[in-house]
């Protein structure tokens, strides 16, 4: 039986081999799993707590609920009770936790250790850092130059702006430069209505929304609120239905959802708007009663100097004939008619203009034209049209009189040139700041404090800005991760994440009702970071003098409840998510009842913290008067005052036709660029948001999630253009403009016209943490820094040449 025993031996050997090979130790080593999240959390009973707060990844401030397990944030979702976002979020919101624990967050204040831009830093204490900023400010004030202090601020928090302005005013500097993108619209509106506060579109009640490049469903305005409203208006079982139309060169996702799309050449939206006014006039669809009663300049021009004295109506008829409009915009006359009729025959039409249409050379004229279109259908001050923008009745300390030193400082010119010779009509001009810095115009700056803006990356001519900053005595950047601007600064001050700080956010412009959102920290700051407002209070105290007196004692968080007390005192509205729905409360209030709520300011604050938002339901009745400024009785169709001011400030005559004539000239001169035949269209995506959110892996991977592109930028090219250039999808292409060049990958798509290419902003960071650095390309490298004198904004228009790179 020896054969059998050998067989047995072999079998056993085989079995042992199999067992050994699949033994646990061996395979566990090979197939290890990432450590589970719970291993990182403090070992506790797993108690869950939800904290309502606000997402601050973009200016909208959607309601957020953060989930904490044993005190550690492990998840988040939209807050259903928030009156604006109602539980919705955009992709950026979900990256909040990753931003909180980003490995490259600055942990302590850093002082540069070596020449600017060398990237060498030493940690210093907050005391040292703030002292380094305060010392030159005290000195310059003592020398009678308090205005040598400028703050460049993102501007998405009105309370922050309030405190910035208050301290600067007390100190004596006029130089609060806000990087607001709404500038053309704001200044156009100010011209028309005589008030600095633009109106808000009552989208929920509109039945026809015409968008001129307004990416309502993507990144403009308050996208989540707009999308929610859109969703309600298109619900299968909705009480009300609405249509949407889109005018623009690129068929964006918002355009894709429009029922009517009219393509126009880039930069010709103003002409289309005036063309639509013409259609309304021809078809007798204009709201004559409104135009007669409430506008100035429709039938004739009051005090018009020079040619004609034609009213707006006559002007449009004679200078913007439909054939001409069609020729300049590239849209067939039949489509212009169709759109005009659809717009005019709707009961509650409304026209929006987005930054995409307003950031070109004739942005101001475009804004004026779209406002004129709204006026033509009487969409001002009525339900479903433009109504007064909401605010929040917060309690703010009363303004104080500046002392003599401060008054002298405040009367000097602003460093961004706003309101002065080159920019007479403008209040803020970040681009003007960029232009003036290098030349130390109108005077050299001692200190520039930068918060929430990354000019070296986000503005055209980043390199020149880098060089211009050299002219500033001290540059301090406040931020969470050291970006390109921080790299050439002298000090970096670590800012707390929005999950670690307090804020009350009134509605962003464009919300038609009163609202206040509460941002509250879900945990203590995990590093030595601090909320910006706390830094600012401390700095003011160190500067001393009136600046110190302008801030309250204690921290920002200590002060905030007193601001909220104003909401309680207002005696109207409800804390969202409470027993009464906001609409019900509004209904009751209109009839003289008051919905029961917290009795004291303290109780109110507690309720406010539990809920996260306060809202006062939109009123039923609107009137145009609510949109006009105190001194205005009518809406100005002709910017007479504007032109008069311009002439006064510049001392040069400005042609009567300067505004709209410029639009026509720009469109006509658009052809004939043989060297750079293609327009470059820039757009934003809801994952990259022009660069600020491009910080975390989850969003970087989703850079082009609809295009199957990750961790990269791309160039959208029309199939015909691609065919001519022998370009295939995925090829690398070179774009060259007069200002610069870049290489990116091609994407062939029919959403762009044959005479343009499009690129998303946001990537191409040279310094922005380990994940984002070196990813993608920055299309602003192609845009030369150029200033729009009507708005003070950078002109983001350029033309390019496209060539395929060899493989």
Interactions with another protein, residue window 262-291 (CB under 8 A) = 262-263
Stretch in the footprint of another protein (CB under 8 A) among 278-286, 392-400, 490-498, 748-756: 748-756
* CA gap 662, 645 in Å, rounded: 18
Which of residues 14, 17, 37, 302 is near another protein by CB under 8 A? Answer: 37
Q: Are the C-beta atoms of 560 and 176 separated by less than 8 Å?
A: no
Interactions with another protein, residue window 238-267 (CB under 8 A) = 241, 243, 245, 251, 253-254, 256-257, 259-263
Helices (H), 423-578: 430-438, 455-458, 462-469, 484-487, 532-543, 545-550, 556-570
Q: Are the C-beta atoms of 209 and 254 separated by less than 8 Å?
A: no
Cβ nearer to another protein, comparing 46 with 620: 46
Which of residues 5, 25, 31, 284 is near another protein by CB under 8 A? Answer: 31
Respond yes or no on whether the N-terminal peptide bond of residue 442 is cis (omega within 30° of 0): yes
Cβ nearer to another protein, comparing 237 with 807: 237
* CA gap 139, 127 in Å, rounded: 18
Stretch in the footprint of another protein (CB under 8 A) among 145-153, 502-510, 597-605, 690-698: 690-698
Cβ-based neighbour number of residue 443 at 10 Å: 13
Which of residues 51, 55, 68, 89 is near another protein by CB under 8 A? Answer: 89
Q: Which of 526, 430, 450, 524 is nearest to 493 (CA)?
A: 450
Which of residues 45, 103, 398, 672 is near another protein by CB under 8 A? Answer: 103
Stretch in the footprint of another protein (CB under 8 A) among 314-322, 388-396, 594-602, 694-702: 694-702
Spell out the residues 6+ positions from residue 148 whose beta carbon is closer than 8 angstroms to its own.
Answer: 140, 173, 443, 444, 445, 446, 447, 473
Cβ nearer to another protein, comparing 39 with 553: 39
Structure letter (DSSP) for residue 589: H
Q: How far is the CB of 227 from another protein (least distance, A)?
A: 4
Which of residues 10, 15, 101, 655 is near another protein by CB under 8 A? Answer: 101
Cβ nearer to another protein, comparing 342 with 784: 342
Cβ-based neighbour number of residue 305 at 10 Å: 12
Site for another protein contains 630 (CB under 8 A): no
Cβ nearer to another protein, comparing 594 with 723: 723
With tokens 């003289």, the residue in question is 592
Structure letter (DSSP) for residue 715: E
Cβ nearer to another protein, comparing 27 with 318: 27
Compute the chain's Rg from CA coordinates.
29
Cβ nearer to another protein, comparing 399 with 710: 710
Cβ nearer to another protein, comparing 78 with 462: 78
Structure letter (DSSP) for residue 367: H
Q: From residue 258, how far is each of 210, 213, 371, 510, 803 by CA, in Å?
A: 9, 12, 20, 20, 33
Which of residues 52, 61, 83, 88 is near another protein by CB under 8 A? Answer: 88
Q: Phi and psi for 89 in degrees, rounded to 5?
A: -145, 170
Interactions with another protein, residue window 712-731 (CB under 8 A) = 712, 718
* CA gap 806, 348 in Å, rounded: 54
Total residues found in the chain within this entry: 807
Interactions with another protein, residue window 293-352 (CB under 8 A) = 342
Site for another protein contains 751 (CB under 8 A): yes
Which of residues 376, 752, 787, 802 is near another protein by CB under 8 A? Answer: 752
Site for another protein contains 707 (CB under 8 A): yes
H helix or E strand, kind and range, residue 372: helix 363-376
H helix or E strand, kind and range, residue 313: helix 312-319
Site for another protein contains 150 (CB under 8 A): no
Q: How far is the CB of 753 from another protein (least distance, A)?
A: 6
Assign 683 to helix, strand or coil: strand
Stretch in the footprint of another protein (CB under 8 A) among 89-97, 423-431, 458-466, 637-645: 89-97
Cβ nearer to another protein, comparing 34 with 307: 34
Cβ nearer to another protein, comparing 223 with 545: 223
Site for another protein contains 775 (CB under 8 A): yes
Site for another protein contains 36 (CB under 8 A): yes
Q: How far is the CB of 254 from another protein (least distance, A)?
A: 8
Cβ nearer to another protein, comparing 256 with 600: 256
* CA gap 111, 123 in Å, rounded: 6
Q: How far is the CB of 204 from another protein (least distance, A)?
A: 13
With tokens 């139309």, the residue in question is 245
Which of residues 38, 422, 555, 650 is near another protein by CB under 8 A? Answer: 38
* 18-43 exposure pattern, b = at least 16 Cβ within 10 A, e = fewer: eeeeeeeeeeeeeeeeeeeeeeebee
Assign 32 to helix, strand or coil: coil
Which of residues 528, 749, 773, 803 is near another protein by CB under 8 A? Answer: 749
Q: Which of 512, 389, 522 is nearest to 55 (CA)?
A: 522
Cβ nearer to another protein, comparing 157 with 227: 227
Q: How far is the CB of 77 from another protein (least distance, A)?
A: 5
Cβ nearer to another protein, comparing 155 with 510: 510
Q: How far is the CB of 706 from another protein (least distance, A)?
A: 5
Site string for another protein, 66-85 (x = CB under 8 A): ---x--xxxxxxx------x
**End-to-end C-alpha distance for the chain, whole angstroms:** 71
Which of residues 61, 63, 102, 503 is near another protein by CB under 8 A? Answer: 102
Q: Which of 790, 642, 621, 654 is nearest to 296 (CA)?
A: 642
Structure tokens at 420: 């002065």
Cβ nearer to another protein, comparing 87 with 397: 87
Q: How far is the CB of 303 from another protein (least distance, A)?
A: 42
Q: How far is the CB of 327 from another protein (least distance, A)?
A: 17
Helices (H), 106-157: 126-142
Interactions with another protein, residue window 204-243 (CB under 8 A) = 217-218, 223-224, 227-228, 230-232, 234-237, 241, 243
Q: How far is the CB of 214 from another protein (least distance, A)?
A: 14
Cβ nearer to another protein, comparing 256 with 411: 256
Stretch in the footprint of another protein (CB under 8 A) among 25-33, 50-58, 156-164, 436-444: 25-33
H helix or E strand, kind and range, residue 716: strand 714-717
Assign 804 to helix, strand or coil: strand
Site for another protein contains 373 (CB under 8 A): no
Cβ nearer to another protein, comparing 51 with 224: 224
Q: How far is the CB of 623 from another protein (least distance, A)?
A: 29
Q: Which of 574, 456, 557, 569 is nearest to 514 (CA)?
A: 574
Q: Which of 786, 627, 797 is nearest to 249 (CA)?
A: 797
Structure letter (DSSP) for residue 784: P
Q: How far is the CB of 16 from another protein (least distance, A)?
A: 14
Cβ nearer to another protein, comparing 178 with 717: 717
H helix or E strand, kind and range, residue 732: strand 732-736
Q: How far is the CB of 107 from another protein (least distance, A)?
A: 12
Size of the site for another protein (CB under 8 A): 94
* CA gap 68, 270 in Å, rounded: 50
Site for another protein contains 114 (CB under 8 A): no
Helices (H), 176-287: 183-193, 223-233, 253-256, 269-282
Q: How far is the CB of 509 from another protein (least distance, A)?
A: 19
Residues forming a β-bridge with 150: 448
Q: How far is the CB of 104 from another protein (least distance, A)?
A: 9
* CA gap 179, 181 in Å, rounded: 6
């Amino acid at each position: 039986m020896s054969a059998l025993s050998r067989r047995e031996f072999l079998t056993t050997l085989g079995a042992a081999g199999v067992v050994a090979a699949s033994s646990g130790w061996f395979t566990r080593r090979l197939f290890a799993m990432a450590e589970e999240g719970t291993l990182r959390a403090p070992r506790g009973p797993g108690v869950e707590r939800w904290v309502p707060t606000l997402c601050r990844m973009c200016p909208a401030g959607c309601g957020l609920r953060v989930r904490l397990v044993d005190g550690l944030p492990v998840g988040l979702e939209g807050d259903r009770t928030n009156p604006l976002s109602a539980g919705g979020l955009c992709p950026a919101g979900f990256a909040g936790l990753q931003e909180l624990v980003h490995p490259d967050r600055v942990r302590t204040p850093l002082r540069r250790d070596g020449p600017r831009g060398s990237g060498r830093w030493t940690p210093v204490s907050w005391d040292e850092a703030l002292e380094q900023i305060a010392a030159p400010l005290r000195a310059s004030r003592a020398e009678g130059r308090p205005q040598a202090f400028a703050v460049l601020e993102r501007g998405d928090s009105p309370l922050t702006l309030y405190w910035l302005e208050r301290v600067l005013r007390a100190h004596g500097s006029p130089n609060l430069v806000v990087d607001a993108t709404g500038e053309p619209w704001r200044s156009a509106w100010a011209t028309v209505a005589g008030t600095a506060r633009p109106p808000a579109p009552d989208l929920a009640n509109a039945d026809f929304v015409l968008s001129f490049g307004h990416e309502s469903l993507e990144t403009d305005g308050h996208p989540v609120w707009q999308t929610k409203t859109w969703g309600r208006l298109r619900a299968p079982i909705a009480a009300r239905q609405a249509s949407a139309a889109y005018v623009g060169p690129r068929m964006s996702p918002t355009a894709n959802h429009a029922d009517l799309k009219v393509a126009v050449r880039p930069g010709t939206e103003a002409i289309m708007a005036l063309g639509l006014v013409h259609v309304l006039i021809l078809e007798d669809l204009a709201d004559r009663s409104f135009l007669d009663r409430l506008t100035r300049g429709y039938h004739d021009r009051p005090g018009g100097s020079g040619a004609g004295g034609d009213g707006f109506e006559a002007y449009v008829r004679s200078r913007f004939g439909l054939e001409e409009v069609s020729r300049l915009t590239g849209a067939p006359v039949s489509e212009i008619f169709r759109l005009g009729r659809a717009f005019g025959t709707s009961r509650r039409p409304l026209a929006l203009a987005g930054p995409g249409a307003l950031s070109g050379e004739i942005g101001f004229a475009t804004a004026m034209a779209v406002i004129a279109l709204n006026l033509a259908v009487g969409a001002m001050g009525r339900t479903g049209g433009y109504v007064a923008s909401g605010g929040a009745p917060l309690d703010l300390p009363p303004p104080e009189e500046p002392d003599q030193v401060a008054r002298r400082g405040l009367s000097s010119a602003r460093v961004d040139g706003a309101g002065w010779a080159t920019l007479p009509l403008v209040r803020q001009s970040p681009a003007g700041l960029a232009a003036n810095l290098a030349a130390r115009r109108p005077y050299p700056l001692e200190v520039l404090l930068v918060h929430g803006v990354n000019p070296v990356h986000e503005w055209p001519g980043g390199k020149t800005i880098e060089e211009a900053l050299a002219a500033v005595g001290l540059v301090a950047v406040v931020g969470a991760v050291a970006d390109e601007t921080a790299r050439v600064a002298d000090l970096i001050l670590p800012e707390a994440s929005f999950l670690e700080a307090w804020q009350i956010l009134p509605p962003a412009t464009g919300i038609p009702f009163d609202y206040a959102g509460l941002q509250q920290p879900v945990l203590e700051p995990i590093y030595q970071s601090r909320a910006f407002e706390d830094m600012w209070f401390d700095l003011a105290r160190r500067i001393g003098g009136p600046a110190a007196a302008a801030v309250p004692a204690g921290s920002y968080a200590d002060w905030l409840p007193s601001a909220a007390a104003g909401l309680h005192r207002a005696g109207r509205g409800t804390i969202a998510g409470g027993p009464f729905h906001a609409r019900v409360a509004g209904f009751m209030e209109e009839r003289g009842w008051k919905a029961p709520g917290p009795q004291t300011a303290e109780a109110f604050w507690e309720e406010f913290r539990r809920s996260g938002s306060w809202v006062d339901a939109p009123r039923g009745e609107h009137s145009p008067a609510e949109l006009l400024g105190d001194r205005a009785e009518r809406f100005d169709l002709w910017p007479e005052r504007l032109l008069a001011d311009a002439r006064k400030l510049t001392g040069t005559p400005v042609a009567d036709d300067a505004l709209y004539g410029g639009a026509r000239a720009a469109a006509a001169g658009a052809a004939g660029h043989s060297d750079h035949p293609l327009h470059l269209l820039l757009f934003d995506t809801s994952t990259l948001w022009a660069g600020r959110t491009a910080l975390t892996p989850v969003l970087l991977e989703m850079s082009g999630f609809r295009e199957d592109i990750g961790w990269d930028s791309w160039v959208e090219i029309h199939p015909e253009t691609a065919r001519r250039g022998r370009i295939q999808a995925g090829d690398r292409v070179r774009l060259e403009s007069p200002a610069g060049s870049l290489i990116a990958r091609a994407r062939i798509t029919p959403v762009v016209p044959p005479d343009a290419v499009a690129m998303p902003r946001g990537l191409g960071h040279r310094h922005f943490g380990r994940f984002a650095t070196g990813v993608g390309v920055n299309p602003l490298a192609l845009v030369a820094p150029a200033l729009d004198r009507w708005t003070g904004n950078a002109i983001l228009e350029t033309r390019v040449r496209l060539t395929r790179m060899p493989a």
